[in-house]
Each structure stands twice: as C-alpha cells, then as structure tokens.
Amino acid sequence: MSRSRLHTQTGDRVDDESAEREVDRDEADEAGETPSEAVEPLEEDSPVRRGIGATSWVALAVAVLFGISGAVAWWSSHESDDLALAKQRDAVRIAATHDIAVLNTLDYRSIAQGLKSWQSVSTGTLRDQFAGVTEKDQQLLADQKKISTGKVVEAAVLDVDPASATVLASVEVTVRAGSDASAEPVVKRNRFSADMTRSGGQWKVSSLQQVAVDVS
C-alpha cells in the first residue's frame, strides 16, 4: 500500500472519530448530561465529601452532648434539692409528732419527771418557762390528780427552712381522774400550731399555741 493511500485512510479514520465525538457531545447536551470535560460534583463517598460530613457530625454530636450533660446536671441538682427538702420535712413532722404529744402528757404522780420531759423536747423561751415552774406550782398540778396522755393524730408541715419550721397538728388528749379508777376517761380534741427550731442537731418546739377549731 502506498504512503498516500495510507495517509488517506488514516485521515479518514481520524475524521470519522472526530465526527463521532461531536455527535456524542451533541447527544449529551440534548440529554442534559454534563460533558466529560466539565467539573463533576463530589461523589457521596469521596474523601472530600466524607471529610465535610464527618466534621459536621462531630460538631453536632458535641453540641448535643453538651446540651444533654447540662440538662442532666440541672435535673440532678433539682432532684437533689427536692430530695433534701422532702427529707427535712419528714424529719420535722416526725419530731413535731413526738414532741407535741409529750407536751400534752403529764402524770400527777410524777410532776417533776413530766416537767423534765417537757424541757427535753422544747427550746428557747418555752424551755425556760418549763424550767422555771416552782415547787408550789408543781404541787398545785399534783393536787389535781389528773393523768393526761397526748396523741398527735395528724400533723402537717406548713413551712420549713434549715433552721426553723411551722407545724399544724391535731391532738387527742385523754384525761383520766387518778382519784376515781371507775371514772370514764375524757377525750379532748385540740389543734396546735407549733414553731419548731433546730437545736443541737435536733428539731424541738420553741412555741406552742392552741388554734381555734372551726366547727361551722
């Protein structure tokens, strides 16, 4: 085959290939496809896309963790405060239930011992008043020949803080006449407002006032 013939065939083949590329490019344009020479978008699993996604997720995870830890800390603190307050209210109620019952209990046969019991559950001015009861007054109490037994049937803590509290209590006082064993006991129902004060690590009564009962 002569060189001119070869050149002609090769040229024809090159022309044909160029024409095919032009046709392919035109078809791609009509189909809305991106030419091969254009910059293609990043694939989902490309290293660059993975880097951007990982960074975003890490930032989001950190923000969420900080938010959760803050909420947990607030919730824990709030729950802790509520639990401490509930325990304190329970301690006040238990102490008031015992102390108010003691302050409504007295046996004419042991007045001095009864007064000591009153002093043990009271504090402040109230305790001083019990300590100041004279022998003459003790004799007057003994002469009544009465035995009173107090029982708190219900107690509610109205207010409380670390050093003081106010309690409202319903009390039944059973009174027996020691001089007449056959006499029926008399049950009296009263309501008291007690101020409780923390003294020496214990809750004690600092004031005790009878409250009128509304019978309407």
- 55 pLDDT band, cuts 50/70/90, is low
pLDDT: is 98 or 212 the higher one? 98
What's the burial of 25, exposed, middle or buried (CB within 10 Å: 0-12/13-18/19+)? middle
pLDDT at 13 over 50: no
Kindly state the greatest CA–CA separation across the chain. 155
* pLDDT for the residue 88: 93
Which helix (H) or strand (E) element contains residue 109? Answer: none
How far, in Å, CA of 35 to CA of 28, rounded? 7
pLDDT at 214 over 80: no
pTM: 0.64
pLDDT at 16 over 90: no
| C-beta pairs of 155-158 under 8 Å, 24+ apart in sequence | 155/93, 155/96, 155/97, 155/100, 156/93, 157/89, 157/92, 157/93, 157/96
How do residues 193-203 score in pLDDT, each as one tens digit? 999 999 988 99
Rg (CA), the chain: 47
Q: Which amino acid is at 9?
A: Q
How do residues 86-135 score in pLDDT, each as one tens digit? 899 999 999 999 999 999 999 999 999 999 999 999 999 999 999 999 99
Average model confidence (pLDDT) across the chain: 78
pLDDT: is 14 or 153 the higher one? 153
For tokens 């009962």, the residue is: 213
* pLDDT for the residue 190: 95
CA distances from 138 to 44, 99, 206 (A): 96, 21, 22
Stretch 171-191: mean pLDDT: 90
* pLDDT for the residue 57: 60
Stretch 52-72: mean pLDDT: 59
Stretch 61-66: mean pLDDT: 58
In three-state secondary structure terms, 197 is: strand
How many residues belong to the chain? 216
